[in-house]
């Protein structure tokens, strides 16, 4: 079972001709209201690929919170360890341009107060794989990783310096290029290895991903797709990677599957709308040869 410890948000998406500059107002050509949050998105990505998934996080006591939990449950995700905190749920405001690039502002709400309660702690300890991110308090991330007995995967997003003790307890670190430089001071394999994590996977956008271990460095190219929206592609990558690791694949095989899954997620508007099912991912991989 994969336990995902992280954030859950309501996403408000506006599609524009170009991303606004400082002080500029632009008129959206369309808008969309959907469910998001890095943690919840990654949980959905893993569930769509057929894994047994539980989500650990916090919602507010507003109507949005109930809606967000219902959305996760509808994906077959165990939401028994989701806690309700007084106040507002998290909201993300996303602007997407005609090339699929995005700009995101997140209001954390209850995510900013998320803690690992007793039921959540037991669930995390029982999981074979634990996946977490940085849209919840760092101490909660660290506690989840310390509590885990299975494989621990930390997606260090948004970019932040990670405590040494958290890195020491992490089996796999997933970052993009900006995040790796923020954590390691450089994007080189040497700098990545100096973090002391056994496996560091760096996503490279449309180019693919790079895997660094103690003895190897491998580049995994991405397939060419018609990009419409990059929102959620990184979350899809993380969820797919966690599924592959949980199923016993090595980090290089897991990255190869995750790269294809992340690419598929850019082909439609919305964070979750284009997340592939297991059949869609397998069919695409087979077609790519």
Domain ranges of the chain: 2-18+28-288
Residue 100 has pLDDT above 80, yes or no: no
pLDDT on residue 260: 97
Q: How confident is the model at residue 109 (pLDDT cuts 50, 70, 90)?
A: very high
Residue 39 has pLDDT above 80, yes or no: yes
DSSP-derived letter for residue 99 is T
Mean pLDDT, rounded, for 57-83: 96
Mean pLDDT, rounded, for 84-99: 91
Share of the chain above pLDDT 70, in %: 100
Which stretches does DSSP call E strand in the chain?
2-5, 9-15, 30-36, 53-56, 58-60, 83-85, 90-96, 102-107, 129-132, 151-155, 172-176, 199-203, 208-213, 217-221
Q: Would you name the residues annotated as active-site residues?
A: 235
Distance CA 280, CA 238 (A): 17
Nearest to 237 by CA among 198, 211, 269: 211
CB distance 45 to 275 below 8 Å: yes
Residue-wise pLDDT for 123-174, tens only, equals: 999 999 999 999 999 999 999 999 999 999 999 999 898 999 999 999 999 9
Distance CA 78, CA 223 (A): 33
3-class DSSP state for residue 107?
strand
Q: How confident is the model at residue 270 (pLDDT cuts 50, 70, 90)?
A: confident
pLDDT on residue 20: 92
Structural class in CATH, domain 2-18+28-288: alpha beta
pLDDT on residue 5: 98
pTM above 0.85, yes or no: yes
3-class DSSP state for residue 173?
strand
Provide the terminal-to-terminal Cα distance of the chain, rounded to the nearest Å.
29
Write the CB contacts of 111 (distance below 8 Å, at least 6 apart in sequence).
7, 8, 9, 37, 57, 58, 90, 135, 136
């Amino acid at each position: 079972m994969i336990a995902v410890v992280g954030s859950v948000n309501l996403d408000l998406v506006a599609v524009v001709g170009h991303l606004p500059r400082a002080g500029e107002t632009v008129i959206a050509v369309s808008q969309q209201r959907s469910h998001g949050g890095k943690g919840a998105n990654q949980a959905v990505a893993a569930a769509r690929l057929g894994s047994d998934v539980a989500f650990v996080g916090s919602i507010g006591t507003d109507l949005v919170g109930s809606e967000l939990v219902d959305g996760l449950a509808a994906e077959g995700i165990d939401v028994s360890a989701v806690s309700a905190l007084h106040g507002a749920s998290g909201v993300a405001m996303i602007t997407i341009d005609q090339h699929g690039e995005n700009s995101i502002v997140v209001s954390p709400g209850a995510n900013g107060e998320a803690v690992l309660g007793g039921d959540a702690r037991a669930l995390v300890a029982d999981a074979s794989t634990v996946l977490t991110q940085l849209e919840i308090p760092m101490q909660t991330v660290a506690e989840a990783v310390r509590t885990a007995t299975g494989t621990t995967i930390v997606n260090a997003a948004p970019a932040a310096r990670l405590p040494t003790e958290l890195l020491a307890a992490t089996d796999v670190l997933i970052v993009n290029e900006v995040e790796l430089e923020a954590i390691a001071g450089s994007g080189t394999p040497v700098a990545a290895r100096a973090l002391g994590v056994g496996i560091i996977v760096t996503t490279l956008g449309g180019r693919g991903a790079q895997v660094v271990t103690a003895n190897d460095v491998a580049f995994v190219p991405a397939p060419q797709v018609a990009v419409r929206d990059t929102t959620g592609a990184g979350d899809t990558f993380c969820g797919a990677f966690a599924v592959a690791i949980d199923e016993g694949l090595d980090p290089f095989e897991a990255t190869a599957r995750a790269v294809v899954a992340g690419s598929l997620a850019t082909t439609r508007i919305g964070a979750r709308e284009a997340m592939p099912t297991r059949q869609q991912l397998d069919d695409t991989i087979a077609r790519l040869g």
